Chain A
Amino acid sequence: AQKITQTQPGMFVQEKEAVTLDCTYDTSDPSYGLFWYKQPSSGEMIFLIYQGSYDQQNATEGRYSLNFQKARKSANLVISASQLGDSAMYFCAMREYSSASKIIFGSGTRLSIRP
């Protein structure tokens, strides 16, 4: 069964520093996708980045990059040069190709950026 684990309930980081948010997953499906979403205090869910299980390179989107280690089943989100506006909840999510209708979410990490 698919499972997503985020072990960091909360993190504090100094502005302009880089931060890594951890995500591990479990699946028996060889084909799957991994997503990161940001949820600011206003509540909306904002898609950040996607990584496919067969992608050869780690995904990048502006200041966001995904450190994908397939053998370890980890998909950590790296935010470079953090900004005050990065303070939010961050969710890791996964979709298996065999059950592509369903995306499951981790419990989230609350990131707080200190000025």
Chain B
Amino acid sequence: NAGVTQTPKFRILKIGQSMTLQCTQDMNHNYMYWYRQDPGMGLKLIYYSVGAGITDKGEVPNGYNVSRSTTEDFPLRLELAAPSQTSVYFCASSYSGGRASETQYFGPGTRLLVL
């Protein structure tokens, strides 16, 4: 049981390039989330998904896209990378979002630098 895994751990992008951040969970969780954490700040929700085929925007979705074709995978796509997207990206999952007590399990994060 690996929990939530993310790849890559670190990536440098040039302005205008695109990339996909991978996230996989093996806990059969329905809900999955993408957050970004800027230096010295808390986490901000980018996108989330309540199940395969269903996604919705969070606080800061601009410049990102997601898809959820399976329960396990929730990739985050960056199109036309900008320096403002330099951040640490965390993927998280939870069994459901239906109970306020449901905690989230986080991946180790992907550090992205856009130059």
Q: Residue of B at shortest CB range from A49?
A: B103
Closest chain-A Cβ to B58's Cβ sits at a distance in Å of: 7
Judge whether B103 and A108 touch: CB under 8 Å: no
Contact B100 A95 (CB under 8 A): yes
A18 at the interface (CB under 8 A from B): no
Cβ B100 vs Cβ A43 within 8 A: no
Tell whether A45 pairs with B90 under 8 Å between CB atoms, given A101-B97, A102-B48: yes
Q: A101-B56, A108-B42 are in contact. Are A53 and B100 (CB under 8 A)?
A: yes
Question: Least Cβ distance of B34 to chain A in Å?
Answer: 12
Determine if B108 and A33 form an interchain contact, defined as CB atoms under 8 angstroms apart.
no
* Residue numbers in B under 8 Å from A103 (CB-CB): 33, 45, 104
| With A43-B88, A101-B48 as contacts: A107 and B42 at CB distance below 8 Å | yes
A32 and B100 form a contact (CB under 8 A): yes
> In residues 43-87 of chain B, which contact A (Cβ within 8 Å)?
43-45, 48, 50, 56, 58-59
Query: A102–B88 Cα gap in the complex (Å)?
Result: 19
Query: Does A44 contact B106, Cβ atoms closer than 8 Å?
Result: yes
For A, the interface residue count at a CB cutoff of 8 angstroms equals: 26
Q: Which residues of A contact B90 (CB under 8 A)?
A: 45
Residues of B within 8 A of A43 (CB): 88, 108-109
Q: How far is the CA of A57 from the CA of B33 in the complex (A)?
A: 30
> 28 pairs across A/B with beta carbons < 8 Å?
A43-B108, A44-B108, A44-B109, A45-B43, A47-B103, A50-B101, A50-B103, A52-B100, A91-B42, A91-B43, A100-B97, A100-B99, A101-B31, A101-B50, A101-B56, A102-B45, A102-B48, A102-B58, A102-B97, A103-B33, A103-B45, A103-B104, A104-B59, A105-B35, A105-B42, A105-B44, A108-B41, A108-B42
Given contacts A44-B108, A97-B100, A101-B56, 6 further A-B contacts (CB under 8 A): A4-B42, A32-B100, A43-B88, A45-B90, A95-B100, A105-B43
Interface residues of A (CB under 8 A from B): 4, 6, 31-33, 35, 43-45, 47, 50, 52-53, 91, 95-97, 100-108
